[in-house]
């Protein structure tokens, strides 16, 4: 190819790209939500003279054009390919992949945050739970299984447990680290898979001094596919989706779920939410400040207060084997100071604090 | 607005191209002026007025100097132009530094003004000064068209981070310039190379520097892993910006001067500064060092001139003591090299000279990067094992591994090796044809890759914005 032809091809290609995407961006309709990133995308900014002069308009315009760029997800794929494939980076935006399993770096250990979580739990115990049988368990995140053996950074889990142990004198510890393996978690998501938790539910029930077992209950597996977890969109790498399996039976289907915030009843499983922004919302409709699940077929009168993050939503239906009702409290959404406005603590015999290591390491969202 | 943004690449640039290449020649400077003003307004709505005022001042002073010819008024006009040219720069950039030091020395508590530094003021102030000085010295003809003069000052390709384009360099092109497919293609190639250097390399290196800076780990290797990538980051950031400016300039028919010439292959500090930020070095040489007498009036005055120029060079980079120290650090090396060290180096094996230059350049960038003198010295102590810390920790090793390919590419890319390779391939006729087929495809791929990086992340500031 002669230089003159090369020059012409260069100029034409460049022009096609910048004009093509420019026109493409203008004519393509705006998208409200990115399902892969699980977030609302920026919309066209409002024009005001004030916003123009103080720079806000152009800043918002920048966010808008970035978010609404055509083929946005494909461009993110390309960047991930460059980072992982060509530059051989071990992680891309802190996301890493080991044998098709996606995880996110959680490093370093934030001792102050863990201490803050321990103080928060102790405070709740002292204020509300002095006469209640209380326990806590720490859910290891996926890094616990994936990071150390594959050359990724991992927090000092022993130190985390130690801090919790030293600062939670009246709340007994239920060690579940050894009861889990990486296979118990979704490959594309942060969470554990409910169908793998029956043994763990038994262990927690036993740890709480409850003689009932989830393993003695008959469940029917229901599968939802394809399940693209939270990490899938962040990784921007093609990986086979998971199957979201939930365990149900007549008792669970008939169980009543009361949302204290919206004052309305719902179901334990909401399969329709599988097709929303976060398919994990299938379990107890996702993040809610305060919900109570009542088991109509329970053979006990025991009540459990479950202080939890999102992991708790999928294990709560299995813990229902040992309780007539479970109230799930998400301290990221409701203040611990206001709990007695919603909860009559005399109705509960047990309280369980069940938090993932990532929540403890970033605990300042616990209110 | 920055070049490495979606809005510049996919909205601003297409519109400017469309307007610029469809209007007749006599209206092209007006298109450049209006688009440059919008470009500036986008990033600095309020300071646009300042830039127009400073441009108008430079324009009027040029006319006055020209009208006064060689008389007393010409000198007065020149002094006035220096005052009005430098006053905004001194006010916005150095007032708080002055207040801070007065407070420190006299124990006062004068509140800082906390002014935002107008983007590019250090660059466009120097360009305007070069114009009035050159008109005074008779090296440049006066520009009677305000549109042409304002287009020169505000020309968006080089407005915010150089290179410092002297008026004489584009004097004739402002009036009459040609456009060709060849120049357009050259400009595109240069622009995309610069864009890739900035977005893919500089930003990735910047991420590493940022991670190391935020790490709580205490390890000797961590301090080195902060220093070396930073040095490379500044090179890729700044030279990438210069490449983009030169490329865009060529597209619009301007030949801007080169600003970098593989500085890290230098075998002395003297050579390094002939290859690094060339337009700034030559500006200070021609407008400060030579007028002060250069090396013509004995060793004492020569040393004074060197130290003064490098004090100003450091101070130009930032209103902090570490920048001044950075400039004086180079003054010491340049003096010592000129006095005797260059002769010693000439007899030293080349690889040792490279190590010498790289090592002391690296040290200079630690000084450059420090947030105050105490942090600089803390970093030095960390690098050389005076902090009683381990050699390496888990985090440092992890990120060293993770960024090893990036660092390797960055190191090789900062040498002429890739260019030499391409030149050698072009010597072979068949290989040259293949290369010509691939070149446009590589350019297009890089442009798409840059777009992917921009969409994926928001880590995108230009380091030289603060200057």
Rounded to two decimals, the ipTM of the complex is 0.89
Cβ separation A66–B10 shorter than 8 A:
no
Burial A87-115 (b: 16+ CB within 10 A, else e): bebbbbbebbbbeebbbbbbbbbbeebbb
Q: Which two tokens stand for residue B366?
A: 């630690």
Q: How distant is the Cα of A214 from the closest Cα of chain B, in angstroms?
A: 41
Query: What tens digit of pLDDT does each residue of B191-222 get?
Result: 999 999 999 999 999 999 999 999 999 999 99
Task: Please name the residues in contact with A301: beta carbons below 8 A apart, sequence gap of 6 or more.
Answer: A324
Q: Is residue A280 pLDDT above 70, yes or no?
A: yes
Query: What tens digit of pLDDT does each residue of A239-263 get?
Result: 999 999 999 999 899 898 999 988 9
Best residue of A1, A2, A8, A10 to probe chain B, by most B CBs closer than 10 Å: A10
Best residue of B1, B5, B10, B450 to probe chain A, by most A CBs closer than 10 Å: B10
Q: Which of B45, B215, B456 sits opposite A53 (nearest CB)?
A: B45
Three-class secondary structure of residue A33 per DSSP: strand
Cβ separation B6–A14 shorter than 8 A:
no
Q: Which of A8, A13, A90 sits opposite B398 (nearest CB)?
A: A90
Distance from C-alpha of A73 to C-alpha of A51, rounded to nearest angstrom: 30
Burial B312-340 (b: 16+ CB within 10 A, else e): ebbbbbbbbbbbbbbbbbbbebbbebbee
Q: Which of A55, A76, A82 sits opposite B455 (nearest CB)?
A: A76
Cβ separation A90–B401 shorter than 8 A:
yes
pLDDT of res. B459: 40
Cβ separation A66–B9 shorter than 8 A:
no
**Mean pLDDT of the region A94-112:** 95
Global confidence as pTM? 0.90
pLDDT of res. A1: 64
Residues present in chain B in total: 467
Distance from C-alpha of B69 to C-alpha of B327, rounded to nearest angstrom: 37
Q: Which of B46, B185, B453 sits opposite A10 (nearest CB)?
A: B185
Cβ separation A4–B11 shorter than 8 A:
no
Q: Which two tokens stand for residue B120?
A: 């590019």
Query: What tens digit of pLDDT does each residue of B255-269 get?
Result: 999 999 999 999 999
Cβ separation B216–A108 shorter than 8 A:
yes
**Mean pLDDT of the region B372-390:** 90
Q: Closest chain A residue to B5 measured between Cα atoms?
A: A62
Q: How distant is the Cα of B372 from the closest Cα of chain A, in angstroms?
A: 27
pLDDT of res. A35: 79
Q: What mean pLDDT value characterizes chain A?
A: 93
Distance from C-alpha of A27 to C-alpha of B280, rounded to nearest angstrom: 44
Respond yes or no on whether the N-terminal peptide bond of residue A226 is cis (omega within 30° of 0).
Answer: yes
Q: Is residue B18 pLDDT above 70, yes or no?
A: yes
Distance from C-alpha of A218 to C-alpha of A214, rounded to nearest angstrom: 8
In B24-63, the residues whose Cβ lies within 8 Å of chain A are 42-43, 45-46
Please report where in the chains the tokens 């915030």 appear, as a residue.
A261
Q: Is residue B98 pLDDT above 90, yes or no?
A: yes
Cβ separation B406–A152 shorter than 8 A:
no
**Mean pLDDT of the region B415-439:** 90
Q: What mean pLDDT value characterizes chain B?
A: 92
Three-class secondary structure of residue A198 per DSSP: helix
Q: How distant is the Cα of A48 from the closest Cα of chain B, in angstroms?
A: 13
Q: How distant is the Cα of A112 from the closest Cα of chain B, in angstroms?
A: 14
Query: What tens digit of pLDDT does each residue of A38-66 get?
Result: 888 899 999 999 999 888 999 999 999 99
pLDDT of res. B467: 46
Distance from C-alpha of A220 to C-alpha of B34, rounded to nearest angstrom: 70
Best residue of B42, B185, B250 to probe chain A, by most A CBs closer than 10 Å: B185
What residues in A contact B204, CB-CB < 8 Å? 87
Band (A170; pLDDT cuts 50, 70, 90): confident
In the sheet where A256-259 sits, what is the strand order? A172-173, A133-139, A350-356, A303-308, A325-329, A290-294, A256-259, A264-266
Task: Please name the residues in contact with A366: beta carbons below 8 A apart, sequence gap of 6 or more.
Answer: A116, A117, A120, A331, A332, A336, A359
Task: Please name the residues in contact with B18: beta carbons below 8 A apart, sequence gap of 6 or more.
Answer: none
Q: Which two tokens stand for residue B353?
A: 């000279």
pLDDT of res. B371: 83
Distance from C-alpha of B250 to C-alpha of B188, rounded to nearest angstrom: 9
Q: CB distance from B445 to chain A under 8 Å?
A: no
Q: Is residue B466 pLDDT above 80, yes or no?
A: no
Distance from C-alpha of B271 to C-alpha of B294, rounded to nearest angstrom: 18
* Residues of B marked as catalytic: 317
Taking residue A7's Cβ as centre, other Cβ atoms within 10 Å add up to 22
Q: Which two tokens stand for residue A35?
A: 């399902």
Three-class secondary structure of residue B34 per DSSP: helix
Cβ separation A13–B440 shorter than 8 A:
yes
HSE-CB at A6 with a 13 A cutoff on CA atoms is: 19
Sign for the pseudo-dihedral over CA of B152, B158, B159, B162: negative
What residues in B contact A75, CB-CB < 8 Å? 448, 451-452, 455-456
Cβ separation A79–B456 shorter than 8 A:
yes
Cβ separation B456–A76 shorter than 8 A:
yes
In B333-372, the residues whose Cβ lies within 8 Å of chain A are none
Taking residue B48's Cβ as centre, other Cβ atoms within 10 Å add up to 18
Rounded to 5 degrees, what are φ and ψ at A257? -115, 120
């Amino acid at each position: 190819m002669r230089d003159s032809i090369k020059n012409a091809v260069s100029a034409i290609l460049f022009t096609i790209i910048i004009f093509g995407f420019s026109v493409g961006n203008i004519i393509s309709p705006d998208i409200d939500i990115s399902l892969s990133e699980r977030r609302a995308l920026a919309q066209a900014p409002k024009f005001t003279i004030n916003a123009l002069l103080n720079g806000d308009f152009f800043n918002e315009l920048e966010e808008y054009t970035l978010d609404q760029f055509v083929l946005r997800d494909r461009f993110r794929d390309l960047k991930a390919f460059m980072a992982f494939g060509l530059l051989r980076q071990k992680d891309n935006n802190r996301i890493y992949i080991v044998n098709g399993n996606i995880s996110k770096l959680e490093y370093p250990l934030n001792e102050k945050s863990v201490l803050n979580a321990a103080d928060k739990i102790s405070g709740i115990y002292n204020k509300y739970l002095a006469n209640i049988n209380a326990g806590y368990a720490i859910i290891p995140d996926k890094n616990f299984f994936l990071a150390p053996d594959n050359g990724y950074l991992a927090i000092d889990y022993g130190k985390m447990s130690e801090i919790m142990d030293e600062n939670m004198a009246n709340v007994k510890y239920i060690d579940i680290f050894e009861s889990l393996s990486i296979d118990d978690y979704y490959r594309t998501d942060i969470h554990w898979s409910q169908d793998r938790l029956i043994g763990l539910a038994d262990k927690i029930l036993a740890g709480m001094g409850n003689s009932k077992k989830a393993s003695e209950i008959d469940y029917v597996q229901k599968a939802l596919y394809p399940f693209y977890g939270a990490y899938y969109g962040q990784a921007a790498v093609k990986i086979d989706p998971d199957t979201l399996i939930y365990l149900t039976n007549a008792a669970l289907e008939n169980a009543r779920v009361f949302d204290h915030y919206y004052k309305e009843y719902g179901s334990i499983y909401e399969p329709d939410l599988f097709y929303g922004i976060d398919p994990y919302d299938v379990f107890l409709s996702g993040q809610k400040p305060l919900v109570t699940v009542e088991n109509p077929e329970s053979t006990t009168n025991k009540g459990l207060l479950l202080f939890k993050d999102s992991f708790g939503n999928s294990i709560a239906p299995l813990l229902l084997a040992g309780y007539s009702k479970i109230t799930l409290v998400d301290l990221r959404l409701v203040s611990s100071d206001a709990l007695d406005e919603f909860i009559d603590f005399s109705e509960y015999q047990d309280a369980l604090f069940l938090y993932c290591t990532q929540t403890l390491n970033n605990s300042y969202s616990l209110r | 607005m920055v070049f490495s943004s979606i809005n510049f690449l996919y909205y601003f640039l297409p519109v400017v191209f469309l307007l610029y290449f469809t209007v007749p020649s006599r209206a092209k400077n007006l298109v450049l002026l209006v688009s440059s003003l919008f470009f500036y307004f986008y990033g600095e709505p309020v300071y646009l007025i300042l830039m127009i005022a400073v441009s108008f001042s430079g324009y009027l002073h040029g006319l006055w100097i020209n009208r006064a010819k060689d008389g007393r008024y010409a000198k007065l006009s020149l002094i006035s132009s220096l005052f009005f040219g430098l006053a905004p720069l001194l006010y916005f950039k150095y007032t708080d530094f002055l207040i801070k030091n007065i407070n420190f020395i006299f124990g006062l508590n004068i509140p800082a003004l906390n002014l935002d530094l107008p983007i590019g003021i250090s660059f466009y102030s120097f360009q305007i000064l070069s114009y009035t000085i050159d008109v005074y010295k008779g090296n440049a003809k006066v520009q009677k068209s305000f549109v042409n003069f304002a287009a020169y000052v505000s020309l968006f390709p080089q407005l915010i981070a150089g290179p410092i384009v002297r008026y004489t360099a584009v004097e004739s092109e402002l009036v009459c310039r040609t456009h060709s497919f060849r120049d357009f293609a050259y400009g595109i190639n240069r622009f995309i190379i610069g864009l890739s250097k900035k977005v893919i390399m500089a930003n990735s290196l910047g991420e590493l520097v940022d991670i190391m800076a935020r790490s709580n780990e205490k390890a000797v290797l961590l301090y080195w892993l902060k220093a070396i990538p930073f040095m490379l980051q500044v090179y890729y950031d700044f030279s990438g910006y210069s490449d983009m400016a030169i490329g865009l300039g060529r597209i619009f028919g301007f030949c801007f001067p080169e600003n970098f010439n593989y500085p890290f292959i230098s075998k002395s500090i003297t050579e390094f500064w002939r290859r690094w930020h060339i337009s700034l070095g030559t500006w200070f040489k021609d407008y400060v060092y030579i007028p002060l007498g250069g090396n013509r009036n004995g060793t004492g005055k020569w040393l004074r001139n060197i130290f003064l120029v490098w004090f100003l060079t450091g101070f130009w980079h930032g209103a902090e003591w570490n920048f001044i120290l950075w400039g004086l650090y180079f003054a010491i090396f340049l003096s010592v090299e000129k006095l005797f060290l260059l002769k010693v180096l000439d007899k030293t094996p080349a690889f040792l000279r490279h190590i010498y230059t790289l090592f002391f350049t690296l040290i200079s960038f630690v000084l450059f990067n420090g947030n105050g003198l105490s942090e600089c010295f803390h970093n030095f102590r960390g690098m050389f094992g005076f902090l009683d810390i381990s050699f390496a920790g888990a985090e440092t090793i992890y990120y060293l591994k993770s960024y090893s390919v990036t660092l390797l590419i960055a190191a090789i890319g900062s040498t002429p090796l890739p260019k030499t390779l391409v030149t050698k391939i072009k010597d072979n006729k068949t290989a040259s044809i293949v290369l010509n087929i691939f070149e446009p495809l590589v350019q297009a791929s890089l442009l798409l890759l840059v777009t992917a990086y921009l969409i994926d992340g928001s880590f995108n500031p230009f380091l030289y914005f603060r200057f």
